[in-house]
Structure 1
Amino acid sequence: MAFFTPEKRIQLETLRQAGMRAAAELSRQLGCCPRTVERELDRCAGKRYNAYRAGLDRQRCAARSAANVVVKTQGELLLQLYGLFDEPQRLSPEGVSLMLGRLPRAAGKPRLSLSTPAVYAWLKRERMSDPSCVLWRGRSGTRTTTRHGAKGRDTGWAAKAQSISERPERANRRLERNHLECDTLWGRQRDEHRLLVILDRKSRYVRLGTFKKSAIATAIGAQSLLKGSTLKTLTCDRGAEFARLPQFFKDKLFVCHAYRADERGSCENVNRWLREFFPRGRSMDSYSDDYVAQVQDFINRRPRKILNGLTPYEIHFSSPRSPTVRT
């Protein structure tokens, strides 16, 4: 069921008229993730948000989705689907949906087309009817397809770590320091190094370092950045670069659910700031350690509204009776 009902749209329009613009603030008021709010605002095509106009756009989208019925995957369209998935290029469902719209059509016949969700649904039905028929295994060869927000299955190295659902409540509520999140940033795909970002959940204090992009180098780099600190928990995503962390941090490591970047929201927010200093497309190998240290110092000494005007440096190195941090 869609989150935005007519009542929710009217509430969103009222909040916008009251001067609330940031998606993060709107999501807190409405009780959803910021990306859901951004998608809803996009329904008005960049114009002033209007609940009625957004509702009309939702009805048009529903009408297009309703056209992707099961009956359509028969006859000529069914042959086209099997043919495209058998191509040597190993097309993804997104690629198959795009190619269907580009195939030549006979005179007087409608164009064969299916949306990407309809292709995923067809693949699922094919697996259920014939488990040995696997037309697409995912980009990694084993990953199953799930919608955004799904928890996915614990496969691969993530099965050796604890789920974020088991993380202590004090870490979830940001009641004490040394509960950390980590992520990596890359400049170009062929670079030898990645930027490792480790953030304290309470103080938002950031540690940065450039290390080789292998899993063992990332684990050793995390240990070197955390040297001298008392680690309580460390939360990461399911990226292959973190595959060796369970061997180094054992019961202190927690892994997010699949496709849930919002479970490391603080780290994702800081990554957006870091892109001002480490733009995508520029080689990460070109940055010196001094430059990385300067960026780290600048981010940690930048006042934060969520810290009541204090800096992460002041919160992290102050006494335990520091000002209350909003969650």
Structure 2
Amino acid sequence: MLRRQADADRAVRQPIRSPGRPPPRREVERAFWVQIADGLTSEDAAVAVGVSAPVGTRWFRHAGGMPPLDLAPAAGRYLCFAEREEIALLHVQNVGVREIARRLGRDPGTVSRELRRNAATRAGEVEYRASVAQWKAESAAKRPKQAKLVTNTALRDYVQQRLEGSVSLPDRTVVQGPDAPRWKGRNKPHREDRQWVTGWSPEQISHRLKVDFPDDGAMRISHEAIYQSLFIQGRGALKRELVTCLRTGRALRKPRRRSRNKPQGHVTDDVVISERPAEAADRAVPGHWEGDLIIGTHQSAIGTLVERKSRSVLLVHLPRLAGYGQQPRVKNGPALAGHGATAMADALTRAITDLPQQLRKTLTWDRGKELAEHARFAFETGTTVFFADPHSPWQRPTNENTNGLLRQYFPKGTDLSRWGADDLAAVAYTLNNRPRKVLNWKTPAEVFTEQLPSAQEPGVATTD
């Protein structure tokens, strides 16, 4: 009877290929994409969920860098993997179907169909295994749907023309542009010509369709659907090479958090801004500084340091080093302009060691290579250095605001090497004795003096 019922179930369902070794469960892949959203690389995310690094790389590339839409968790009406494991354990103990259903809180018919339809049938024997049953259930639940750009030729042609259309003059004379290298399936070529195309963004295309076809509901598509057709392998709607027509030119989508807080080069995991103590963020405790360079012509620069609580300013003199301008520049040669990594660390050390230790706790800098020797600077001064996220000037707001004030004295496009240490000290003194609204009309020098213990008041000379 059981054999006939199994044959009947097999006759009404579509043939399913043999899984061989069942792939990782969808819960594992779902957890993988959660790790990707947190900023991990595909290799690290794969290891975190218990699969090999090549598997994670393959998942990321095949999905175009975005989580597949069909990874959404199944509704509660369907059996989950944990329930299938429980069914397998009870079934091998010869527990009856109704008793299994009672323990799971399911209908007996649900358990009975599960044991018949999703059992492993290798070697002609019926044996229920939770992993194989989960794979069969997920395969049978798939409802593949063709992309809209596959079925609607007119819409596909419109989108493709706006992406890779030719650049032309008003009289429609085509301008070919440079000869671009052949696309190799990776990101845009580095420091090489790119093909000149119309280059509309998917969002521009999506919204323009409503203007060009106001009465044609079939000529509608979201920008996300266009991105998926470009990045996801197997959609079959748009050619993969069209990703070169996008502004970024990247072959895979890049998760937002992957570009944030990411260690790179001289910036390691322990010095990113997320590791900075909370007391530095709320400005409640003095001694936390922000720093940067203001750049002038002829590779001239001035270092700027601002204390977050009092807004006190220190300007760091960065004189030219011996030999600057006397010999042609050499690639990867010594930095003689005055703000190389070694010179910068030395200058900052001289500037900040005049302060009491309790007023030089941390320094937040941008991702510039000029502070590549931050470890030596931290060792010599006791000031811990943290680096802001790339392209995130709002994480150093006090310094950015102060640099804007300093441009009144050191405009862009001027040679900053003209000014000596005394000149910078005079400008810093002027700013530190200018009342500030944010300080309730006190001056930064006054607030800075209040922060010093009474026994160390002479140290105020650096800001007064």
| Map of 1:205 onto structure 2 | 312
* 1:10-21 equivalences in 2 (<5 Å): none
| Map of 1:90 onto structure 2 | 191
Give yes or no for contact 2:393–2:400 (8 Å, CA) kept in 1: yes
Rounded to whole Å, the distance in 1 between the matches of 2:365 and 2:257 is 18
Task: Specify the structure having the higher radius of gyration (Cα).
Answer: 2
SS in 2 for 1:183: strand
Counterpart selection for 1:187 from 296, 312, 315: 296
Q: Flag the 1:164–1:83 CA change in 2: closer, same or farther, 3 A.
A: same
SS in 1 for 2:396: helix
User: 2:420 is aligned with what amino acid?
Assistant: S
User: 1:77 is aligned with what amino acid?
Assistant: E
Counterpart selection for 1:293 from 411, 415, 425: 425
| Map of 1:31 onto structure 2 | none
Please state if 1:219 is matched with 2:345.
Answer: yes
Give yes or no for contact 1:302–1:312 (8 Å, CA) kept in 2: yes
* 1:204-283 equivalences in 2 (<5 Å): 204-211=311-318, 212-229=338-355, 230=357, 231-249=360-378, 252-283=384-415
| CA displacement at 1:258 relative to structure 2 | 1.4
Q: Flag the 1:76–1:272 CA change in 2: closer, same or farther, 3 A.
A: closer
| CA displacement at 1:124 relative to structure 2 | 10
- Which whole-Å deviations, capped at 9, do the CAs of 1:53-97 have from their partners, x for residues lacking one? xxxxxxxxxxxxxxx9997357992898995466999358xx86x
Q: Flag the 1:200–1:76 CA change in 2: closer, same or farther, 3 A.
A: closer
| CA displacement at 1:219 relative to structure 2 | 1.1
| Map of 2:328 onto structure 1 | none
| CA displacement at 1:169 relative to structure 2 | 1.6
SS in 1 for 2:268: helix
Q: Flag the 1:81–1:221 CA change in 2: closer, same or farther, 3 A.
A: same
User: 1:279 is aligned with what amino acid?
Assistant: P
Give yes or no for contact 1:146–1:152 (8 Å, CA) kept in 2: no
**TM-score of the pair, normalised by structure 2:** 0.42
Rounded to whole Å, the distance in 1 between the matches of 2:434 and 2:306 is 14
RMSD (Å), alpha carbons: 4.5
Which blocks of at least 5 consecutive residues in structure 1 are unaligned?
1-67, 101-111, 322-327
| CA displacement at 1:282 relative to structure 2 | 0.5
- Which whole-Å deviations, capped at 9, do the CAs of 1:6-62 have from their partners, x for residues lacking one? xxxxxxxxxxxxxxxxxxxxxxxxxxxxxxxxxxxxxxxxxxxxxxxxxxxxxxxxx
* 1:55-94 equivalences in 2 (<5 Å): 72-73=159-160, 77=164, 83-84=179-180, 90=191
Which blocks of at least 5 consecutive residues in structure 2 are unaligned?
1-154, 167-175, 183-187, 205-223, 234-240, 319-337, 454-464
| CA displacement at 1:257 relative to structure 2 | 1.1
Rounded to whole Å, the distance in 2 between the matches of 1:254 and 1:262 is 15
User: 2:375 is aligned with what amino acid?
Assistant: P
SS in 2 for 1:180: strand
| Map of 1:153 onto structure 2 | 262
Give yes or no for contact 1:148–1:260 (8 Å, CA) kept in 2: no
| Map of 1:12 onto structure 2 | none
User: 2:314 is aligned with what amino acid?
Assistant: R
